[in-house]
Amino acid sequence: MSPGWEGGEARRPLPSVAEALAMVRGRAAPLAPRIHALHEALGLVLAQDARADLDMPPFDKALLDGYAVRAGDLEAGDRRLAVGELLHAGGTPARPLGPREAAVIMTGTPVPAGADAVVMHERTRRSGDVVEINEPAVKRGQNILPRGREARAGDVVVERGRVLTPARLGVLASFGCAQVLAAPRPQVVVVPTGDELVEPDQAPGPGQIRDSGSTMLTALANQAGGCARALGIAPDLPDPLRGILERGLEADLLLITGGVSAGQRDLVPDALEALGVECVFHKVRIKPGKPIWFGVAAARGEHPGTLVFGLPGNPVGALVGFLVFVRPALQALAGRPAQASEMARARLAKPFRHRGDRPTYHPAVVTGAGDPVWARALDWAGSADLRRAAEADGFLAFEAGDRDYAEGEIVGFLPMG
Ligand code: AMP
Ligand code: MG
């Protein structure tokens, strides 16, 4: 693999994707956990084991509508039992089940003492105060969920470090954990920069384009578990730019687009350094997205230093930079472990000719199931062509160096969602 060299007085190799990602991870510690109500906790990572406050089920529970019986009463051959108590969910039996008695029972109701089986309603026939049991072999324990089968009081029901999925939130609710301790969603501020930008609801004048970057990056950050908002478009003027970026430093993570390349109006690196943000790296051996800038602001009291990413203005460069570097940073802030799926693999459904001295991410669609999946590179006009990239399921990752890839070859695959 040929190293990418950066010009200038001190020529030094640009960091590889893996090196840059390791630097990001090294700076992205989980945010301090806080208490959250369950309805606000979807997707958060539990910071403390959650324990059951009671046995579940709290009683021996009928699993369907029917009759609670003693299995032994039916062994002798006479299949008729006297109909006893009527038991509804929410009530409790008033007395134990008598000999040769059957209680009418509804799903979810405590089984009366003495009963050891529930017979499904459909397998019985009632006439007056007598019920005939038509199920041939009634087994002890059938259709009863014994007390504590799901969990015992004091058991850990959701472990610390687990992502709170809808089903786990349901578990917490059933065991009385109405509040949870978890790292909060990282607060993200997005700042688009560039004198050529206008808002999406405006008609661009000569030389102007609409700001697509902040809409896309805000959505990406929300999708990755952050809580994102965009500030207004920052002009390519040092003082106003610095003022807007300073507001962005109140967030946990600041995402800037544009102004990080080598142009005369690429003022973002200087503005950030003037604000005391330490530069960890500027430029990475990657295509698209090479100009990416990453740094960390000084900590302020309880608040750890804001992570700051300057992504290139070209929308697909920004998209790739987000998926490769920012998404893992957001996950780390939220306390999620590094995900294996960040870099999956795909098998080429069509040959591909790669030309270039940087590892290249090319938008692709998944065309077939399998392990790895089959994927086909899209006909794409490069880093400004967001429209084609928006059809992709992810990006094929080709190594640096000119090479013709054959159909069926396996390469890296960075999934979109
Ligand atoms: P820059 O990184 O500022 O040199 O911008 C590179 C290219 O991306 C230029 O063509 C810009 O017009 C374009 N661009 C910059 N910011 C945005 C944005 N927020 N949305 C869409 N395109 C942008
Ligand atoms: Mg610009």
Asked if residue 99 lies in contact with residue 145, where contact means CB atoms within 8 angstroms, the answer is: no
Does this model's pTM top 0.75? yes
Q: Is the CB of 315 under 6 A from ligand 1?
A: yes
The C-alpha atoms of residue 241 and residue 194 are separated, in whole angstroms, by 10
Pick 61-145's CATH classification: 2.60.120.560, 3.40.50.300, 2.40.10.10, 2.170.190.11: 2.170.190.11
The structural domains of the chain, with segments of one domain joined by +, span 5-31+184-333, 35-55+155-183, 61-145, 344-415
The C-alpha atoms of residue 130 and residue 379 are separated, in whole angstroms, by 76
Report which of 255, 281, 332 is spatially closest to residue 25, judged by C-alpha positions: 332
Domain at 5-31+184-333, CATH class: alpha beta
Q: Strands of 124-127's sheet, edge to edge? A: 117-120, 66-69, 101-105, 80-87, 130-133, 124-127
The C-alpha atoms of residue 231 and residue 211 are separated, in whole angstroms, by 12
Query: Which residues are placed with Cβ below 5 angstroms of ligand 2, an ion?
Result: 194, 258-259, 313
Query: What string of DSSP letters covers 335-360?
Result: TPPPPGGGGEEEEESS-EEE--SS-E
**What CATH architecture applies to the domain 344-415?**
Beta Barrel (2.40)
The C-alpha atoms of residue 285 and residue 63 are separated, in whole angstroms, by 60
Q: Is the CB of 196 under 6 A from ligand 1?
A: yes
Per-residue pLDDT of the chain (417 residues; tens, 9 = 90+): 344 555 544 567 999 999 999 999 999 999 999 999 999 999 999 999 999 999 999 999 999 999 999 999 999 889 999 999 999 999 999 999 999 999 999 999 999 999 999 999 999 999 999 999 999 999 999 999 999 999 999 999 999 999 999 999 999 999 999 999 999 999 999 999 999 999 999 999 999 999 999 999 999 999 999 999 999 999 999 999 999 999 999 999 999 999 999 899 899 999 999 999 999 999 999 999 999 999 999 998 888 999 999 999 999 999 999 999 999 999 999 999 887 556 799 999 999 999 999 999 999 999 999 999 999 999 999 999 999 999 999 999 999 999 999 999 999 999 998
User: What's the 238 CA to ligand 2 centre distance in angstroms?
Assistant: 13
User: What's the 238 CA to ligand 1 centre distance in angstroms?
Assistant: 17
H-assigned helices in 234-310: 238-248, 268-274
Atom 6 of ligand 1: nearest residue by CA position:
313
35-55+155-183: CATH topology is Molybdopterin biosynthesis moea protein, domain 2 (3.90.105)
